[in-house]
Amino acid sequence: MTITDVVGGRRVEVVRGVADLDREAWNALVRAAGGSVFHSWEWLAAFEEAPPGVFEPAHQLAYDGDRLVGVCPAYLVHHCPRLERIAETAGIDFGGPVLLAHSLAAFAGGPLALPEHPDARDALISGLADTAAALDAWAWGAVNLPAGRLVGRLIGAGYATARLNTTYLLDTRHATVEDYWSTFRSKHRRELQRERRVLTRSGVRITESAPDADTHVRLVHGVVADHGASLDVLPEDFLRALHRHLAPHDRSLTAVDLSGDAIAVFAAYDFGSERSLWLAGLDVDRLDSFGPYRPMVAAAVESAITAGVPLVNLGRGNPAPKRRVGAVAAPLYLALATADRARTALLHAALRRLERDGADHDDVGDGCC
């Protein structure tokens, strides 16, 4: 399906699967537009291979002539446990599939455009609306949009919006790890050193490596189950597909015990200028609390500084230890629209209710990540 001349002469093309995307061109654009691993071809490939629900890809590509100037991954969502929980909290019944850009599992969504082609974002949003009509979607929109101009434009265009959750960002542009820690009070540094010594004395060390897929799934599912959440938000096949596809970008940290067994993991990925700490995992049979959490956060930050990564996305939930290392809250928004007046009123009321009653879901605590 191709839609032409959507906005200002931009050609917007809709692609129904990653097989039809030029991987290198897509990733190059995501990097140039400041995107993270959540917009990468590899993330989309894993999502398509083992989706956590029923999703039809409908990725949008904006061209200036023959040059790719913007992308917007999107799916026609037929079934998504996370979206269904949001609908339940918001008290709305989506009367059909929703075209979403793109995944509630990611920390970022919506269109990306080259800095010199900011209007490509408008074309991509218009493209979403046209695609929603062509696919007979009940509604369309974007999830996990960062606060800023795009959210303002969508609100101004009549989209119903709600602050969905919060991720925590840390500026890691420091020459050395010592420079970074020197910005903290000595009391704070001493506390962290004490926690690290306790961890070391207990025989646990933190390594810059990813566990194998089986261990990765076991540890992540351990935390999900321990929070009383359903595993359907992070099904095993989905985790395995991501583990495999994202391997080139993997910068995970693993805590191992004296016998070398992995007891905790931070699944982290470098892409563009961001390191994204996507998921945490824990051997809940061996540890009744996430003891290594704060030293692992500190280690992740130090690792990023050493590697010259300018920004670390520490992810959603668990704000206290993230704030302690200097991270700041970055709200993420859901924006939805329909072409029908009465549905629009329902959406506005529902998202207002969602923002009032259900904002800031924990990452895995209730599955709404």
Task: List interacting residues with other proteins (CB under 8 A).
Answer: 91, 147-153, 155-156, 158-161, 163, 166, 323, 328-329, 331, 341-342, 344-346, 348-349, 352, 355-356, 359-360
C-beta closer to other proteins: residue 122 or 283? 122
Work out how close the CB of 181 gets to other proteins at its nearest, in angstroms, rounded to a whole number.
20
Work out how close the CB of 127 gets to other proteins at its nearest, in angstroms, rounded to a whole number.
19
Let me know: does 144 contact 163? Beta carbons within 8 Å: no
Nearest to 113 by CA among 155, 60, 161: 60
Q: Is the dihedral of CA 320, 322, 323, 325 positive or negative?
A: positive
Measured CA to CA, the distance from residue 128 to residue 137 in angstroms comes to 10
Residue 214 class from Cβ within 10 Å (0-12 exposed, 13-18 middle, 19+ buried)?
exposed
C-beta closer to other proteins: residue 139 or 199? 139
C-beta closer to other proteins: residue 164 or 224? 164
Element (H, E) at 237: helix 236-245
Residue 239 class from Cβ within 10 Å (0-12 exposed, 13-18 middle, 19+ buried)?
buried
Work out how close the CB of 248 gets to other proteins at its nearest, in angstroms, rounded to a whole number.
36
Let me know: does 213 contact 244? Beta carbons within 8 Å: yes
Token pair 């390594």: residue:
207
Q: Residue 331: what residue type?
A: P
C-beta closer to other proteins: residue 153 or 240? 153
DSSP summary character for residue 122: H
Residue 282: both structure tokens together: 């824990």
Work out how close the CB of 156 gets to other proteins at its nearest, in angstroms, rounded to a whole number.
4
C-beta closer to other proteins: residue 123 or 210? 123
C-beta closer to other proteins: residue 196 or 365? 365
DSSP summary character for residue 207: E
C-beta closer to other proteins: residue 54 or 329? 329
Work out how close the CB of 139 gets to other proteins at its nearest, in angstroms, rounded to a whole number.
14
Work out how close the CB of 177 gets to other proteins at its nearest, in angstroms, rounded to a whole number.
23
Strands 262-271 and 112-113: unpaired
Work out how close the CB of 158 gets to other proteins at its nearest, in angstroms, rounded to a whole number.
4
Q: Is the dihedral of CA 68, 146, 87, 225 positive or negative?
A: positive
DSSP summary character for residue 255: E
